[in-house]
Chains A and B, each alone.
Chain A
Amino acid sequence: MKLIVTFSRKAGKKPIIASVVRDTGVLINVERAIIDSSEGEALIDIPDDQCRLVKEKLAEMGASVRILEDVITLDESECVDCGACISICPQEVFSFDENWKLTLDAGRCVLCGRCIDACPHQALSQKIDT
């Protein structure tokens, strides 16, 4: 399961994720992180059954957490099954089924945004889940 973790860095550079790993023993996979001087945002991947534990711990440390679902969405009416998105995705989210129809394994997506730009038919977008 993927979580978006946002934290303020005003209170100093606390190693939030490292602390959570140490305290919970859950192995966290950081798939993407954008950190500037005042704020940080990280996309992390954790085992589903540990979700509650990690979420609570992160909240305790002052980070806000939300679950990320279906981040990349496909507009079927625009998609022509060309496949331009397939080879450029770093996470192998896209593939063809046996009928050359595009299929998505959206759970693997790390929201790099590359496919949104690369789709010639503007069929891909990022669902803003709040």
Chain B
Amino acid sequence: MHKSIGQINERIRDGNARVVTAEEMPAIVAELGEEGALREVDVVTTGTFGAMCSSGAFFNFGHADPPIRMERIWLNDVEAYGGLAAVDTYLGATQKSDTRDDSYGGAHVIEDFIAGKSVELRAISRGTDCYPRRTITTELLLENLNQATMCNPRNGYQRYNAASNSTDRSLHTYMGLLLPNCGNVTYSGAGLLNPISNDPKFRLIGSGVPAFIGGARGMIVGEGTQHSPAAGFGTLMVTGDMKDMSPDFVRGATMNGYGVTLYVGLGIPLPVLDIETVRSCAVRDEDITVDIIDYGIPARDRPSLRKVTYAELKSGFVEVNGEEVRASSLSSFRKAREVAEGLKKWIGNGSLEMTLPTRCINPSRAAKPMKETVHGPRVLDIMDRRVISISQEEEISTAAGKLLKGETNHLPVIDAHGKLVGIVTTYDISKAVVNPAKGSHVRDIMRKKVITTTPDEPVDIAVQKLEKFNISALPVVDADYRVIAMLTAIDLGKLFGGRWLK
């Protein structure tokens, strides 16, 4: 059996269409079978509500008198893009305020407009013959704008990897606060309600298809940036008129220590045309797997701690390294349901009909990493290979002698096999002199917890360690934990000698 989009729309117009949410679908298929579900259900609605950083809006302000060609533009002190025609701009959600830092940004401006609040527009220009004006400041409401078109380059991730942190310090990430020693797991996405998870082959989701976006009747533009369905991470570019949106479904937010982001409610209705649609819409949380990524590793390809399903994540507890760890979401499942229910209502009252894609989205693309033509400096490029170290069995006075020579403030301490076991600084020696009770050997006073780096670590990461731990030197160790060099603040000075800075 097969249903046409025309038949489904006719039923929608007659008020007879059977519309269910993707959450209800698995039970319906279990009860009626695939054929039965195909006969019974006309449309399945999906929904998600979460942080979607790659979002923003185009605005047209209309012309002032005398007119201005705006070159730099601020909305409530958040800078918007000035490279469009005279009174057009694009405001990105993650752009932060010049005056209020992370607590306010583009996302909040968008929310304020939608909530009916007044927003201050400020712009400057160098003035031209046709646009003589050089400055403008004015208060605007959403209704004063000609267009306020939300256009989000990357929304609606098919699924998203969960996050944890194996280091011994808290991390502030876009996946929220990650406690030390894998103390929690955070995740994002609505699992079985996620739009693309219900149409992973992009048979129904494509350009021109209607969507719920921020409470408005919006539309899918096409594939989103970084679209990578080959790996199960498809994305969508979506658009909608901000004037029809509601602050219930568009919220500015701040991930503490990371920055500003926009929470968007997004849903797509899927017309049930054939058995394959039934099958893909029967997806359950148990069927959707993601990795728990260790954000403690500061590289692009962070390791996975394990695989996990949305069913486990949603249970609130996940086992990591043999321990039960609390898991919680950053997206809202309650709001995701509201999105899916909202779509259901629109279709139920005949105000939203189904459309097939006018252009299909590639279902097998894979996103590439960045091509880097100029590699950033690595530790080995600037480290100091003259290592002065000391054995842990030596007397403190020997260490003091080495430090006194003045070539270094840090002495890495090694054991009989040449492995790094600690570090002593001038400060530790002074302390030992004041308080001799601790012992007379280096091993008695050394700090055993040493922060280290490796030769191929990017300098930016090493600098982050220096800053984070408020230290001024890092021993550079090889695979056997032998000290092969030191990296100090002085070495960083080499970066500014022009070799790396162009």
Residues of A bordering B, CB below 8 Å: 80-88, 92, 95-96, 99-101, 114, 117-118, 120-122
Contacts and interface: CB of A to CB of B under 8 A. Distances in A.
A83 B254 contact: no
Interface in B46-83: 49-51
Interface stretch (B279-287, B328-336, B426-434, B442-450): B328-336
A87 B326 contact: yes
Contacts of B177: 84, 88, 114, 117-118
B176 A118 contact: yes
B251 interface: yes
A84 B186 contact: yes
Given A82-B50, A87-B185, A121-B253, A101 B334 contact: yes
A88 B334 contact: no
A85 B177 CA distance: 9
B263 interface: yes
20 contacts: A80-B49, A81-B332, A81-B334, A81-B335, A82-B263, A83-B330, A84-B186, A84-B328, A84-B330, A86-B328, A87-B185, A87-B326, A88-B176, A100-B333, A100-B334, A101-B334, A118-B177, A118-B256, A121-B263, A122-B254
B255 interface: yes
A67 B149 CA distance: 51
Among A87, A95, A117, max chain B CB count under 10 A is at A87
Nearest to B51: A120
B185 A80 contact: no
A114 B185 CA distance: 16
Contact of B253 (A83, A101, A117, A120): A120
Given A80-B332, A99-B334, A118-B176, A86 B254 contact: no
B328 A87 contact: yes
A114 B172 CA distance: 12
B331 A82 contact: yes
Contacts of A92: 326
B184 interface: yes
Say what secondary structure dominates the interface of chain B.
strand
B186 A121 contact: no
A105 to B, nearest CB: 15
Contacts of B185: 87
Given A117-B177, A120-B253, A121-B251, 19 more contacts: A80-B251, A82-B50, A82-B263, A83-B329, A83-B330, A83-B332, A84-B176, A84-B329, A87-B179, A87-B325, A87-B328, A88-B176, A88-B184, A99-B334, A100-B334, A118-B177, A120-B263, A121-B253, A121-B263
A124 B128 CA distance: 49
Given A120-B253, A122-B254, A87 B186 contact: yes
Given A86-B326, A88-B176, A120 B255 contact: yes
Contacts of B96: none
Interface string B184-200: 11100000000000000
B184 A87 contact: yes
Contacts of B331: 82
B333 A88 contact: no
Contacts of B254: 120, 122
Among A80, A82, A96, max chain B CB count under 10 A is at A82
B316 interface: yes
B209 interface: no
A88 to B, nearest CB: 5
B261 interface: yes
B337 interface: yes
Enumerate the 9 nearest inter-chain pairs by beta-carbon distance, A residue then B residue, closest first: A86-B328, A87-B184, A87-B328, A120-B253, A87-B326, A100-B334, A83-B328, A118-B177, A81-B334
B272 to A, nearest CB: 26
B410 to A, nearest CB: 32
B474 interface: no
B22 interface: no
Given A87-B327, A88-B176, A117-B256, A80 B184 contact: no
A110 B50 CA distance: 29
A23 to B, nearest CB: 38
Given A80-B332, A86-B326, A87-B328, A120 B261 contact: yes
Contacts of A82: 50, 263, 329-332
B316 to A, nearest CB: 7
A76 to B, nearest CB: 12
Among B251, B254, B327, B334, max chain A CB count under 10 A is at B334
Contacts of A84: 176-177, 186, 328-330
Contacts of A99: 334
Contact of B263 (A80, A100, A117): A80
Contacts of B329: 82-84
Among B254, B325, B329, max chain A CB count under 10 A is at B329
A117 to B, nearest CB: 5
B164 to A, nearest CB: 10
B269 to A, nearest CB: 22
Contacts of A121: 251, 253, 263
Contacts of B176: 84, 88, 118, 120
